[in-house]
Amino acid sequence: MSVATASKVTETEIKEEEKFCGEQRDRILLRGPNQRGREFSLLIGVASDFMRGLRTLHFVGPCITVFGSARFKEDHPYYIAARQMGAAISNMGFTVMTGGGPGIMEAANRGAKDVGGHSVGCNIKLPFEQHENPYLDRSVTFNHFFVRKTLMIKYSYGFVIMPGGFGTLDEMFEALTLIQTKKIRNFPIVVMGSEFWGEIRSFIDSMVCAGTISPEDLDLILFTDSPTDAVAHLREKAVKQFGLQEKRVPRSSVLLGEKGL
At 51-75, the pLDDT tens digits run 999 999 999 989 999 999 999 999 9
Architecture of domain 61-244: 3-Layer(aba) Sandwich (3.40)
Mean pLDDT of the 111-130 span = 88
Would you say 176 and 203 are in contact if contact means Cβ atoms under 8 Å apart?
Answer: no
Predicted local confidence at residue 1, as pLDDT: 47
CA distances, 245 to each of 39, 239, 242, 249, 261 (Å): 44, 7, 9, 11, 18
Predicted local confidence at residue 193, as pLDDT: 94
The side-by-side arrangement of strands in the sheet containing 156-161 is: 138-142, 119-124, 95-98, 63-67, 156-161, 189-192, 221-224
Mean pLDDT of the 108-135 span = 90
Would you say 110 and 135 are in contact if contact means Cβ atoms under 8 Å apart?
Answer: yes
User: pLDDT confidence of 2, banded at 50, 70, 90?
Assistant: very low
Q: Is the pLDDT of residue 165 over 70?
A: yes
Dihedral (Cα; 86, 178, 126, 47), 10-degree rounding: 110
Residues 6+ apart with CB under 8 A from 36: none
The three-state secondary structure class of 211 is coil
Sign of CA dihedral 177, 180, 185, 191: positive
pTM: 0.85
Q: Please, where in the chain does CATH 3.40.50.450 lie? A: 61-244
For residue 163, which amino acid is it?
A: P
Predicted local confidence at residue 18, as pLDDT: 57
Q: Is the pLDDT of residue 233 over 50?
A: yes
| Averaged confidence pLDDT in the chain | 87
Question: What gap in Å lies between CA 57 and CA 70, rounded to an integer?
Answer: 22
Would you say 160 and 230 are in contact if contact means Cβ atoms under 8 Å apart?
Answer: yes
Predicted local confidence at residue 126, as pLDDT: 79
CA distances, 168 to each of 9, 40, 59 (Å): 35, 31, 26
Q: Is the pLDDT of residue 3 over 60?
A: no
For residue 73, which amino acid is it?
A: K
